[in-house]
């Protein structure tokens, strides 16, 4: 789901379940002229002042666009997705919560309109994405600090640019940080059709790793299976198939995975653990089933399995010189609206 330029044309409050298309499906050329001294203008944003049900607490508001200071960057948002973490943040159930009131959205891509006199890393026309969560991307325009942005190529698909900062990075770090995998090794994952799951498939294929991809049974299973295999998936099985005794024969021909990636929890994660090679690691990065991860004593003692967690925001904090820069600026309602 997407939130973006359609905000400019929307008069009624937007519903989070609604699919809003990117402002343009084509790459926009850089404007011929830009000015950092434009008068403050009205921008539209999806704002919440309290935590709760997104359908009830998120409002479409007019905000005043701040003046561009010396180290500031004026950005026009081109596209912004709606991720589960965005919903969790609005509900107040996320590991990092912005100062309220806040603009929703942690991911997206925008085009630089103007820059302050002290800005050296970006220029008008560049495409930029948030460096950290909490920036508030569900708005038409904004003024951000230069340090809050990362430039990305403007010749990649718009939707790819808008979703570049979280899912692919999560997939890469989990593939390289927990097990020393070599070409030919296997990994197993659930929620394989998620954003992270699809990124795992592609990165693993590029590194010569074999993927065993678990899906829930569904009417369009074959269509989805074909799509994942086109991305590079080696094997696609359903949750039900994973529980069958026939999987023992499957692993006679396929190396037991040394790494399992769990985004679901509950019974699904138990099955991943059951098929891990001795000494293997299961990394949990989500809990879509809202059920606990359960490991048997025998798996921990006799198979020496390791249970780990991964959160990209924490990884960034641990590996950034300044420890990350998460926060939320105060919002101003546009009194002229």
Rg (CA), the chain: 22
In the set 48, 94, 172, 285, the catalytic residue is: 94
Q: Are 189 and 261 in contact (CB under 8 A)?
A: yes
Which among 330, 193, 314 is positioned nearest to 263, based on CA atoms? Answer: 193
The answer to whether residue 94 is catalytic is yes
Distance CA 80, CA 334 (A): 22
Which among 110, 106, 108 is positioned nearest to 80, based on CA atoms? Answer: 108
Q: For 150, left (φ over 0), alpha (ψ -120 to 50), or beta?
A: beta
- Output the CA–CA distances (angstroms, integers) from residue 324 to 5, 56, 169, in the order listed: 28, 31, 16
Q: Are 161 and 270 in contact (CB under 8 A)?
A: no
The catalytic residues are 94
């Amino acid at each position: 789901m997407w939130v973006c330029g359609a905000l400019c044309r929307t008069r009624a409050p937007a519903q989070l379940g609604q699919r809003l298309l990117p402002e343009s499906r084509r790459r926009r050329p850089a404007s011929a002229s830009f000015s950092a001294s434009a008068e403050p203008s009205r921008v539209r944003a999806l704002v919440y002042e309290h935590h709760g049900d997104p359908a009830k607490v998120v409002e479409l508001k007019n905000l005043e666009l701040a003046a561009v200071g010396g180290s500031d960057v004026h950005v026009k948002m081109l596209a912004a997705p709606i991720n589960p973490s965005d919903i969790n943040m609005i509900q107040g159930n996320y590991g990092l919560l912005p100062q309220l009131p806040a603009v929703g959205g942690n991911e997206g891509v925008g085009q630089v309109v103007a820059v302050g006199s002290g800005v050296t890393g970006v220029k008008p026309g560049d495409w930029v994405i948030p460096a950290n969560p909490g920036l508030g991307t569900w708005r038409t325009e904004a003024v951000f600090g230069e340090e809050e942005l990362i430039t990305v190529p403007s010749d990649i698909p718009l939707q790819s640019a808008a979703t570049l900062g979280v899912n692919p990075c999560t997939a890469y770090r989990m593939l390289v940080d927990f097990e020393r995998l070599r070409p030919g090794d296997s990994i197993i994952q659930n929620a394989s059709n998620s954003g992270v799951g699809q990124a795992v498939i592609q990165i693993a294929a590029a590194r010569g790793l074999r993927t065993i991809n678990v899906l829930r049974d569904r009417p369009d299973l074959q269509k989805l299976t074909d799509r994942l295999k086109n991305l590079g998936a080696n094997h696609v099985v359903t949750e039900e198939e994973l529980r069958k005794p026939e999987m023992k024969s499957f692993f006679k021909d396929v190396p037991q995975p040394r790494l399992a990636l769990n985004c679901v929890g509950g019974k699904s994660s138990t099955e991943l653990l059951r098929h891990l090679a001795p000494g293997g690691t299961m990394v949990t990065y989500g809990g879509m089933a809202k059920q606990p991860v359960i490991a048997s004593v025998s798996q921990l003692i006799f198979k020496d399995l390791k249970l780990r967690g991964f959160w990209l925001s924490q990884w960034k904090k641990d590996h950034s010189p300044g420890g990350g820069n998460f926060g939320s600026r105060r919002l101003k309602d546009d009194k002229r609206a």
